[in-house]
């Protein structure tokens, strides 16, 4: 019994920053009044891109910029934490909690998806405006079904990008690794496009994001199936997960489509161009608020599962 109490005490102390930050994310989400490092990441990327994305060897310039910014994010977090550790344990704990909190982005998206479903139930125009807050496509011509589909697709993708991937890199490389992943993700969201402006300059950033999310995306889909309790859906994920244009996004989307027995994909409008995404699933049925509630329940359950995995892994490594 004493050994169990000691192990539980070690686990609690080791994982206090993570658990506190995760609970804060559930409580606060991303409050608008709190300065966020992603804003600084975006300004740094924009500053460099405007000066480097011109002339020759754009691919090499984009690759060098991406590597330097990711390394800078890792080192800045590492040095900041080392400084805090030399100053006081309380300051170290505070900074750890704050940085982990900044890197988790589960609750805000869940709230936004809820608002999309409420808005589209009131009017189609409201739904289009609300979903435009969380997707990059043109929403002006979407039907009510397409609005709901876009919201659920984004919810599935964000579970991987905004929660599971940061926790995965936290488990591997600690808080600095989590912070570096956030820079990778921000780079991809800003310059990882295949349009004329970013095709060469952002190519490396897009592939870096693909590599960083390769395991987390598949882990997310697996945990979603576990959360549903329907392990036969692994075959569904295996069938449809690789059909997406992205090497990663299709897996959590396929898991959610299988759980809801619905169909994702189809034509989308990006930057004035129609992009056809292969269908994931084959049951073209209307999506409802009930489907949204099931998706959110699965999301929350997957977060719990991943937190348990990270806590157990950290404890076992220490012991």
Query: Residue 35: its pLDDT value, please?
Result: 81
Measured distance CA(117)–CA(121) in Å, rounded: 6
The predicted model scores a pTM of 0.92
Query: Residue 274: its pLDDT value, please?
Result: 63
Among the listed residues 182, 175, 180, the one whose alpha carbon sits nearest the alpha carbon of residue 100: 175
DSSP 153-212: HHHHHHIIIIIIHHHHHHHHHHHHHHHHHHHHHHHHHHH---STTTTTTTHHHHHHHHHH
Cβ contact 21:97 at 8 Å: yes
Measured distance CA(209)–CA(223) in Å, rounded: 21
Query: Residue 11: its pLDDT value, please?
Result: 59
Query: Residue 9: its pLDDT value, please?
Result: 59
What's CA 145's distance to the chain center, in Å? 24
CA distances from 13 to 6, 150, 253 (A): 11, 40, 35
Measured distance CA(137)–CA(193) in Å, rounded: 13
Query: Residue 271: its pLDDT value, please?
Result: 54
Task: Please report, in tens digits, the pLDDT of each residue of the chain (319 residues total).
Answer: 655 665 555 555 678 999 999 999 999 888 777 788 999 999 999 999 999 999 999 999 999 999 999 999 999 999 999 999 998 999 999 999 999 999 999 899 999 999 999 999 999 999 999 999 998 778 888 899 999 999 999 999 999 999 999 999 999 999 999 999 999 999 999 999 888 899 999 999 999 999 999 999 999 999 999 999 999 999 999 999 998 878 999 999 999 999 999 999 876 665 556 667 789 998 989 999 999 999 999 999 999 999 999 999 888 876 6
Query: Residue 303: its pLDDT value, please?
Result: 96
Query: Residue 255: its pLDDT value, please?
Result: 97
Query: Residue 272: its pLDDT value, please?
Result: 58
Alpha helices in the chain (DSSP H): 2-28, 37-52, 58-87, 89-103, 107-122, 124-131, 144-158, 165-191, 203-228, 233-240, 250-260, 289-318
């Amino acid at each position: 019994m004493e050994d169990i109490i000691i192990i539980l005490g070690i686990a609690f102390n080791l994982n206090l920053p993570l658990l506190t930050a995760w609970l804060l994310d559930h409580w606060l989400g991303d409050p608008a009044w709190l300065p966020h490092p992603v804003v600084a990441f975006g300004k740094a990327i924009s500053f460099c891109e405007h000066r480097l994305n011109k002339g020759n060897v754009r691919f090499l310039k984009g690759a060098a910029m991406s590597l330097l910014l990711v390394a800078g994010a890792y080192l800045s977090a590492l040095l900041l934490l080392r400084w805090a550790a030399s100053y006081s344990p309380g300051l170290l704990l505070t900074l750890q909690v704050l940085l982990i909190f900044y890197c988790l982005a589960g609750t805000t998206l869940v709230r936004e998806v809820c608002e999309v479903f409420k808005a589209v139930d009131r009017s189609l125009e409201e739904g289009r405006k609300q979903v435009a807050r969380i997707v990059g496509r043109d929403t002006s011509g979407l039907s009510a079904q397409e609005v709901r589909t876009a919201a659920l697709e984004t919810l599935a993708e964000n579970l991987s990008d905004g929660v599971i991937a940061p926790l995965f890199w936290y488990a591997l490389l600690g808080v600095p690794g989590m912070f570096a992943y956030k820079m990778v993700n921000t780079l991809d969201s800003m310059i990882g496009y295949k349009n004329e402006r970013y095709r060469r300059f952002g190519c490396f950033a897009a592939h870096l994001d693909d590599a960083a999310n390769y395991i987390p995306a598949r882990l997310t889909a697996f945990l979603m199936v576990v959360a549903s309790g329907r392990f036969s859906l692994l075959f569904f994920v295996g069938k449809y997960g690789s059909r997406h244009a992205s090497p990663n996004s299709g897996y959590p989307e396929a898991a959610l489509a299988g759980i809801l027995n619905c169909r994702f994909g189809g034509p989308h409008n990006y930057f004035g161009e129609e992009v056809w995404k292969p269908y994931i699933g084959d049951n073209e049925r209307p999506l409802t608020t009930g489907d949204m509630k099931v998706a959110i329940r699965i999301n929350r359950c997957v977060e719990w599962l991943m937190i348990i995995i990270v806590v157990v892994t950290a404890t076992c490594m220490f012991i």
